Amino acid sequence: MRILICMPQVPFVRGGTEYLVEGLRDALREHGHTVDVISMPYTWHPVDQAVQNALLWRMLELDEVDGVPVDQIICTKFPSYVARHPNKVTWLVHQFRQAYDWYGTPMSDLVNVGLAASMRPAILELDRRGLSESRARYAISRNVSQRLKRYNNIDSHVLYPPSRYATRLYADTYGDYILSCARLDRAKRLDLLLEALAHSRTRARALLVGTGPDQPRLAALAARLGLGERVRFLGFVDDATLIDLYARARAVYYAPIDEDYGFATVEAFGAARPVVTTEDAGGVLEFVSDNVNGFIVPPTPATIAARLDMLLEDAALAERLGHAGQPLVRAITWERVVQALVGPR
């Protein structure tokens, strides 16, 4: 089959969606399909840009390329799923959350005044129409699927994406550091980790992999807390380095606000590392069970610090919890994804 994967791209930003799309592209090609990625730059500032971006996707002619038919398109996140095609399948990463669960909170740019007041109904209608047209709808987690049902009354099937490193992750020694592999963004709540380190009686240290707009604030917070060498901002690292960091960590911290899915969780379990998260972390909680393969705590520095200390004081506990997570991710494979989205060749 000739397949196009549709993905909006925020310029200069790489994250979970980009990794998911690259993994899907490669898996489809390995299964004998001819695949390419259609990407358009995406911005939501000012807010009317979100609707304009959706209209650009709607105007695309994707039925054929250079006179040769396109057999299928696979759409990912807002607003790519408003694209038109007779064989459109959506694998929903997330909708425009500023119009949904973030609406009315500091996480959303939409407010009930002026132009923004008309944007939310327009976005909801675009979603209703674009997603309803899909021949099949999948969501990357129960959390995303439930949001779609709650806000749009549209059903979908859960289809978990594997990590791009799934076949390369391994377990080594349980070292003396806590690892974070989240984008440096306020929604990932890395400030909670830094504040937890300040509460730690073991003087826990953390390695933070990734970049993002919240880095200056986090660096200033680390300095204000006097954490010094106990925190290292590693920035971007290559794949081999990241896999090695997972393999030797004592545990992984991942406690975002109501996360869609969270590759860091399945990657931690792939490397047999326990995950420390919070009660409101969203999709992360579809995998982490308290005191089984990690810890789930209220989102406060003191409670997080207490669990980090437990793990740092007891390597055997970290090993037991980490290995308990491995069976959960073994069934998450690209073979299963391809079979669902495209079917047998």
69 in Cβ contact with 85 (< 8 Å): no
| Residue/partner pairs of 60-69 with CB below 8 Å, 24 or more apart | 60/84, 62/4, 62/6, 62/38, 65/2, 68/2, 69/2
pLDDT band at 43 (very low <50, low <70, confident <90, very high): confident
51 shares its domain with 127: yes
Of 159, 188, 206, which closes a domain? Answer: 159
DSSP β-bridge partners for residue 192: none
Residue 107 is predicted with a pLDDT of: 72
The answer to whether position 344 is within a domain reads no
Q: By residue range, what is the domain housing residue 112?
A: 2-159
pLDDT band at 116 (very low <50, low <70, confident <90, very high): low
Mean pLDDT, residues 138-146: 97
β-pairing, 72-75 vs 88-92, is parallel
pTM for this prediction: 0.91
- CATH number of 195's domain: 3.40.50.2000
Residue 289, judged by CB atoms within 10 A of its CB (0-12, 13-18, 19+), counts as middle
- The Cα–Cα gap between 139 and 340 comes to 11
97 shares its domain with 203: no
324 shares its domain with 192: yes
The answer to whether position 340 is within a domain reads no
The answer to whether position 190 is within a domain reads yes
Of 159, 185, 216, which closes a domain? Answer: 159
55 shares its domain with 200: no
122 shares its domain with 153: yes
pLDDT band at 105 (very low <50, low <70, confident <90, very high): confident
- The Cα–Cα gap between 151 and 6 comes to 23
The answer to whether position 342 is within a domain reads no
Lowest mean pLDDT: which of 242-246, 291-295, 315-319, 328-332?
328-332
Residue 118, H or E segment: helix 114-132
- CATH number of 11's domain: 3.40.50
The answer to whether position 311 is within a domain reads yes
Q: For the chain, what is the domain count? A: 2
103 shares its domain with 189: no
183 shares its domain with 239: yes
- The Cα–Cα gap between 233 and 217 comes to 12
Helix, strand, coil percent content, the chain, rounded in steps of 5: 45, 20, 40
The answer to whether position 111 is within a domain reads yes
**b/e for 208-218, b at 16 or more Cβ within 10 A?**
bbbbbebbeeb
186 shares its domain with 215: yes
132 shares its domain with 182: no
Residue 2 is predicted with a pLDDT of: 95
319 shares its domain with 243: yes
User: What would the pLDDT profile of 307-343 be if each residue is shown by its tens digit?
Assistant: 999 999 999 999 999 999 999 998 899 999 999 999 7
Rounded percentage of the chain residues whose pLDDT exceeds 70: 96
23 shares its domain with 149: yes
288 shares its domain with 190: yes
Residue 114 is predicted with a pLDDT of: 61
